Amino acid sequence: KQEVTQIPAALSVPEGENLVLNCSFTDSAIYNLQWFRQDPGKGLTSLLLIQSSQREQTSGRLNASLDKSSGRSTLYIAASQPGDSATYLCAVKTGANNLFFGTGTRLTVIP
Amino acid sequence: NAGVTQTPKFQVLKTGQSMTLQCAQDMNHEYMSWYRQDPGMGLRLIHYSVGAGITDQGEVPNGYNVSRSTTEDFPLRLLSAAPSQTSVYFCASSYSGRVTSTEAFFGQGTRLTVV
């Protein structure tokens, strides 16, 4: 069974810092990996989708990388802002089209 | 374009009651699924469907039923609510098949409390 782990579970940084969130998965046979943002009491907002054949994707201040062979992905956030405070979830899609989620990293950006 | 719409947003049930959580999408996605989110557990798959008339069990299906009579709708039924089903429920949809660039879209969630 696919296991997805996110480290750290929580992270606090001062505004303006660059930061990296980590995601690892146990089975490298994935179709894609997706990073989501979740605000308290809200749904999931898709941030970046990396296909299994890709190495990275970028959107604005966000950059996600994928190393499928080692079962790792990172989400890099540049010049963090208080509005980036949220929980970040990574999920991998398997052959059955199902998503396996990590438990998330709760990010707090301090003004 | 509404995306994925879930109703209700909040619900309180008594133990033993039944109810249906509604999910609708307007993106013509073949694949739809239900997850529950519990503290410290992440999101876990309850049931999923790859198209109208086809459903299958996920990781935690016990106590839940689903059906898929149309492409747009995928309701989740709680047959006899139990306190262990207190959770936040999310519906998701995406294109399916062997397309690898299938981005998943999620509804806003239903917060269910069983007392």
Closest CA to A89 of A5, A13, A31, A27: A5
* Mean pLDDT, chain A, whole residue set: 95
Residue B108 CA to residue B90 CA, distance in Å, equals: 7
> Is A69 in the B-facing interface, judged by CB distances under 8 Å?
no
Residue A13 CA to residue A19 CA, distance in Å, equals: 8
Q: Look at residue B95 in the predicted model and tell me its pLDDT.
A: 86
Residues on chain B touching A4 (C-beta within 8 angstroms): 42
Nearest CA in chain B to A2: B59
Residue B68 CA to residue B4 CA, distance in Å, equals: 15
Q: Look at residue B92 in the predicted model and tell me its pLDDT.
A: 95
Contact check, Cβ <8 Å, A98/B58 = yes
Q: What is the mean pLDDT of residues A15-30?
A: 96
Q: What is the pLDDT along chain B (115 residues), one digit of tens a residue?
A: 679 999 999 999 999 999 999 999 999 999 999 999 998 888 999 999 999 999 999 999 999 999 999 999 999 999 999 999 999 999 999 987 555 457 889 999 999 999 9
Residues on chain B touching A95 (C-beta within 8 angstroms): none
Q: Look at residue B42 in the predicted model and tell me its pLDDT.
A: 86
Residues A36-92: tens digit of each pLDDT: 999 998 999 999 999 999 999 999 999 999 999 999 999 999 999 999 999 999 999
Residues on chain A touching B43 (C-beta within 8 angstroms): 89, 91, 99, 101
Nearest CA in chain B to A44: B106
Q: What is the mean pLDDT of residues A9-31?
A: 96
pLDDT > 90: percent of chain A: 88
Residues A92-109: tens digit of each pLDDT: 998 777 899 999 999 999
Residues A58-73: tens digit of each pLDDT: 999 999 999 999 999 9
For residue A28, name the pLDDT band (cuts at 50, 70, 90).
Answer: very high
